[in-house]
Amino acid sequence: MTSTDIIEPTGEKSPVAKRPRRTSTILTERLCQKRVNERTKVYDRKCRGLYVSIIPAGVATFNLKFTDPATGKQRSTVLGVYNPETFGVEDARSKVYALKALDPAALVEQLRQTKTAKGKHGRTVAEIVEARIDWMQQWEQKADGEKRPRIESWENVASHLRRFVNPSLGNKIASDVTRQDIAELSNDILDGKYGRPSISNARHTRRAVSGLYRWASEAGRDYVPETCRPCFNLPKLPKEHARKRVLSEGEIRTLWHGLDRDNLPWDRRTRLAIKFELVTMLRSAELVAANRDELIGLDGDAPLLRIPAKRVKKRRVIEQPLSSLAMEIVKEALARTDQQFVFESPVYPGQPIHRTAMATALRGTKHEKCKGKTKTPGLCELLGLKPFSPHDLRRTAATLAGELGFSETAIAKCLDHAVTKDDGERVQRVTGVYVRSKRMNQKRAVLDGIAAELRRIIGAASVVAELGAAA
């Protein structure tokens, strides 16, 4: 009996199925791009020992099989992942020829280093995403002395990574992700595969992935090779249309008086906050959490709201003058003497309204089952106004100031924008380092001017007829 035979229970001999002979062919680019149902190895006839391993996910990896002179056993080392632009068949053959020219001991050392690197670079995209999110949300001391997360916008970054990147690339080895993968992901977002088509989401996702790989390749972390840059030189995304919505005088009048109606389903303080944004030109996130302690000089001639850096987009303190119209809103909102926040939440006493409360009130809430139909109609719908966002109120106020003849420099200061021009002349960036003036007199003049113009608009006699039509 030979070693290739087995004894069946019946006593008869049955030959063992022989292992299929390893086949080889001449490797080509097209063969490396072939789709397979299970892991497949194809050896190169032109270069002895070179083979490509293709997995169902579509990733092809070049390897070199050789005999270890110390043990006499066959071993293999990874040469690299196939990429038609950076590492093709001829590149793999050239690398094999260079390795074969090495001393056998040097070749074994090369294998050891490759295995070590493979262990470090073997993390999946999902693993690196979670590590990045954990790192971003760790608290550190900022320049103003307060402790806040390392990346203060980490929630937005985490949302884009988890909603768009993980579902499509989460199971892939991070170092195997290519530019083609990111380009396809961008196209899927633009095509609406992950919800409503959005150029903004595609742009923010690219930025999040770029930051992810830059962070992952840093020295001391080394989750991916330094040369792994899947977001480099990607096709340009379509241009986003600039938002130009500005409320007309008639719309301002309808909105202002409509917000005073008693039969609206939205809380009074939320409606007052909408008015406050139009009057003060502040961002929603800056004003919704306005604290009683941040109101300065309420009984004097120059009241203002001092907003701490942690709530400001550019992380710098804002001192915004309050016009007489703004003061009327503040005094009505501060209904109780023990009320800490100006715009207190109707649901959670002692807390400010949510940062999205104004946008939700204007837009309304939607039914989950009935697509397109509103569950609670928004203020725009109730008042018969063309939809707009809270940010459009800033643009409307800035437009009013421009029509009143105020300079762009003064308007920019009220908007907390960087001043790039002053009276038509370009301002050097370094100038801002030396000039620390907050231009309070200019800002107060602009905001008082806007308040006077709003009083003129909302006092028009036709408001009663417009409100009746809107109702």
Interhelix angle 268-280/390-403, nearest 10 degrees = 40
Residue of 176, 171, 174 lying closest to 81 (CA atoms): 176
Predicted confidence at residue 330, as pLDDT, reads 95
CATH homologous superfamily of domain 249-470?
Intergrase catalytic core (1.10.443.10)
Residue 303 has pLDDT above 90, yes or no: yes
**pLDDT above 80 for 2:** no
Q: What share of the chain has pLDDT > 90, as a percent?
A: 52
Per-domain boundaries in the chain? 19-120, 125-216, 249-470
Determine contact, residues 38/56, Cβ cutoff 8 Å: yes
200-216 per-position pLDDT tens digit: 999 999 999 999 999 99
Six token digits for residue 382:
């109730």
Q: Mapping DSSP to helix (H, G, I), strand (E, B) and coil, where does residue 279 land?
A: helix
pLDDT, average across residues 259-281: 95
The yes-or-no verdict on residue 378 having pLDDT over 70 is yes
Could you say which of 3.30.420.40, 3.30.360.10, 3.40.50.300, 3.30.160.390 is the CATH number of the domain covering 19-120?
3.30.160.390
Residue 313, CA distances (Å) to 81, 408, 411 in order: 42, 20, 17
DSSP 163: I
Q: What is the pLDDT of residue 23?
A: 64
What rounded mean pLDDT belongs to the chain?
A: 84
If you write DSSP's letter for every residue of 112-157 in order, what string do you get?
HHHHHHHHHT--BHHHHHHHHHHHHTSEEE-TTS-EEESSTTHHHH
Sign of the Cα pseudo-torsion (156, 157, 158, 163, in order):
positive
pLDDT in tens, 408-422: 889 999 999 877 665
Number of other residues whose CB lies within 10 A of the CB of residue 288: 26
Buried b (16+ CB within 10 A) or exposed e, 82-102: beeeeebbeebbebbeebeee
Q: Kindly report the CA angle at 147 between 277 and 358, in degrees rounded to 5? A: 20
**How confident is residue 228, by pLDDT bands cut at 50, 70 and 90?**
confident
**Alpha carbon distances (Å) from 455 to 137, 242, 249, 316, 462:** 45, 29, 11, 31, 14
- At residue 348, does pLDDT exceed 50? yes
Give the pLDDT mean for 388-407: 95
